[in-house]
Structure 1
Amino acid sequence: MSLLDQLNNDMKTAMKAKDKATLSVVRMLKAAVTNEQINLGHDLTADEEATVLSREYKQRKESLAEFENAGREDLIEQAKHELSVVEKYLPEQLSEAEVKAIVTKAIEQTGAESMKDMGKVMGVVMPQVKGKADGKLVNETVKAALQ
């Protein structure tokens, strides 16, 4: 089942359950996937779907951080709910240990020795973890390994 089919089914389920909060998030995700499909001019591959979902997840995570900094309790709960809905569609996330193993392997492959080689390492690591790990975590792991 494609992501769009899954989103359509979940949208119908949310409508029947009169779950307006979930319905709103599913509709936003469906719109983001559809817009990406239109922009690219073809059906999305699994990697492209993961990219769209990761982008949506990151936006909501950043919004949550902003709401927490501003002390907006009313919006924090909504943002947390949106994050939980988006997480259902993301591929299973890699653990820190798995990311470290991938980074270590990439450093060996590229022969990286210092922070100057960070771009090489990131270039090897990111395609492997796309949609499966937070870019910030990967960045911090690479920095720690190269220091």
Structure 2
Amino acid sequence: MDLRARFTEEMKASMRAGDAPRTSTIRMVIAKLKEADIAARPSGVTAIPDDQIAGMLRGMVKSRRESVDLYRQGGRTELADKEEAEIAVIESFLPRQMDDAAMQAAVAEAVAETGAASIKDMGKVMAALKAKHAAVLDMAKAGPMVKAALGD
């Protein structure tokens, strides 16, 4: 089942269950998806593909994590808890992320594939990782691993 269909089915299920916070978060995701589809129309795309949807979801999670930090610093734990609940719902639609061992292996493979020898080749390695593992690799964690593999 593609992500769009999953959003619809999950929203129906949460509405039936009376889970208002989950329903609200899924509606927010669907609205963001419609916004992304509209933004992609000028380039001739009527509906963005699943890999771009996953990127959109990761962006939503990232902004909520930043909000959680700010709310915690400001002593607004109720708002931080609400954001964390939204993060959990959004992450339920994302594919499982690679663990550290798998990330190390993917980085080593990308370094070997690109023939990277120094830190100057970091961009090539990151591009290879993104092309091959974008959906399941946290690029923020991959950066330092690539840097370490290339010898700082």
Structure 2 counterparts to residues 65-80 of structure 1, below 5 A: 65-80=69-84
**2:103 pairs with one of 99, 106, 109:** 99
| Deviation of the 1:20 alpha carbon | 1.9
Paired amino acid for 1:115: I
**1:142 pairs with one of 136, 139, 146:** 146
Counting aligned pairs with the same residue, the percent is 33
Match in the other structure for 1:22: 22
Q: Deviations over 1:64-120 (max 9, x none)?
A: 222233332112211111111011100111111111111111111222122221111
Match in the other structure for 1:40: 40
Note the aligned Cα RMSD (angstroms).
1.6
Deviating 4+ runs (over 3 angstroms): none
Match in the other structure for 2:133: 129
Question: What TM-score do the two structures reach when normalised by structure 2?
Answer: 0.87
The count of aligned residue pairs is 147
CA distance in 2, matches of 1:129, 1:66: 31
CA distance in 2, matches of 1:99, 1:80: 25
Match in the other structure for 1:56: 60
Q: Is 1:4 aligned to 2:4, yes or no?
A: yes
Question: What TM-score do the two structures reach when normalised by structure 1?
Answer: 0.89
Change (3 A) 1:131 1:58: farther
Q: Deviations over 1:11-63 (max 9, x none)?
A: 22222322221111101111111111222232222212212222212222222
CA distance in 2, matches of 1:34, 1:87: 19
5+ residue gaps, structure 1: none
Higher alpha-carbon deviation: 57-66 or 134-143: 57-66
| Deviation of the 1:2 alpha carbon | 2.7
SS of 2:135's partner is: coil
